Structure 1
Amino acid sequence: MLASNYPHFNKNDLINIEKNSGKIAKNRVVDYQQNIAKFQTYNKTKQLNLVNRYLNQLQPQYDDVIQKQKDHWASPKEFLITGYGDCEDYVIIKYMTLLKLGFDEDKLFITTVHEQFKGGYHMVLSYFLEKNKAPLILDNLSFRILPLDIREDIKAISFTNSKGVFKMDKNNTLAKIYNNSPQYKSLMKKIQKNN
């Protein structure tokens, strides 16, 4: 389990970021820390909206352009330093940021969805505010947070967090299908190594 203050950057981190990645990268990290500190003063509903809006301002870019590989799950630190990310990178940083703000991990899931109109796959963050209700969806393609049952453009395939990988039935109940996700496990190892 991660420390509740992740992602965190100390003074040495900021010096190294400026030296290796430039002043803009350092300023982006400082801005993130200052904004998340401000968000702590608000209620959970407002925090969800603020986190979604704030992080959606980072620039999208496909993994094969930034990382020179397909389907790379960037840590929040990597995403903030580069300033660019793919859909899963937005989901991961939102997930970690909400945990940092005190959200219950049992209600947050990295969610793979099928895009109903375009075809293909996408990732969003699901937040189960109430039991047996459709989760709220935080999406890098939308500044609005809507329940999954209103999002006709996407169909949920799987839900992942530290507890495992789940499927959701028509009553919005999750059932575990795998004990863990190799990608999630690999991401956590990378985060713990570079924390």
Structure 2
Amino acid sequence: MKNHLRPLMMLLAAIFIVFTTGLSAAQAASPHFKKGGEPVCTVSTSTGSASTTCRTVLTGLGNDDLLATVTTSGSAVYQCQNQGGNVAPGQNKVLVGPATAPTFISGDAIKNGNLTLVTEPSVLTAPATVTGAEAGCPNPNWTGVNPTLTITSIHLVIEQPVGTVIFDCSASSSTGLTGRVPLTC
């Protein structure tokens, strides 16, 4: 009788091993931010351009590839220049963007479910000139010049595996985002 139970016991042991191995892998993929590692983006602006880079520290990741995409949008205010070269302030905010920057991380770079993620910069650039009407100039013979760009929204989407969103974070302000900007997820 013992010889008949042996194959059954081996089969049950194999099923148990397969089940518990699968369960461990499923439990390991529970992504979250480490304490103090919530996403923060840094906005660096020059007159007509702005670069945004985001940083976060993640744990509980699986071993799949990861994709983080930063999308920024903003507005620019122009000066109005007439054909004689005289300059006056414009009146309108001109929408600029969006600019998108993907950052791909190979699953091999994720160690024990942990990753310090620093994204590629999302660079938003205002056109050097716009029409007088767009800039809010006194008449159509004027041109909008010398843009001053302001970032008004940042959107960070993190996917793992690629195609499955695990975090969707953002910040926005009609008056502008500058310096270190914490995101809400």
TM-score (norm 1): 0.24
Of Structure 1 and Structure 2, which has the larger fraction of its residues in strand?
A: 2
Of Structure 1 and Structure 2, which has the larger fraction of its residues in helix?
A: 1
TM-score (norm 2): 0.25
Q: Which has the higher contact order (CA 8 A, sep 6+)?
A: 2
